Amino acid sequence: MKIILNNSSMTPIYEQLVDQIKAMIVGDQLKEDDILPSVRTLSKDLKISALTVKKAYDTLEAEGFTVTVHGKGTYVAGNNKELMIEERRKVEADLEMAIQKGRRSGMSDQEILQLIDLIMEG
């Protein structure tokens, strides 16, 4: 499992981990019932705290992307496509609200696009 963390990012490490594992699940790099590395193994490989990995795994499980079996490990759960479609709908709604707010404050569409580009670079 290839994970690249950016220590200088404003996004917390555990969120970066969650986002990348979700992307692997949605992109079919990780499939239903695949086992994730143990918390200890992944923390050692990434040179981060085991608590950070545990928090990421707990978040993935709370959001329905993984299932943890005590003593056996953490596995990719089923029905992930539906979860991601719902999450994308939420993102779309949030973006629509942000665009409307920008327009109400007098921003042109070009200024909004430039701001989005700027944010995505960071």
pLDDT tens profile 62-111: 998 999 999 999 999 987 667 777 778 888 999 999 999 999 999 999 99
51, 71 contact by CB (below 8 A): no
- Inter-residue contact 58 to 65 (CB < 8 Å): no
Domain identity same for 60 and 98: no
Cα-based angle 116, 29, 53 (whole degrees, multiple of 5): 75
Residue 2 lies in a domain: no
Whether residue 74 sits in one domain with residue 26: yes
* Residue 67 and residue 33 in contact, taking contact as beta carbons nearer than 8 Å: no
Name the pTM for this structure: 0.70
Mean pLDDT, all residues of the chain: 92
Q: Which domain holds residue 113?
A: 81-121
pLDDT of residue 99: 95
Predicted confidence (pLDDT) at residue 52 exceeds the cutoff of 90: yes
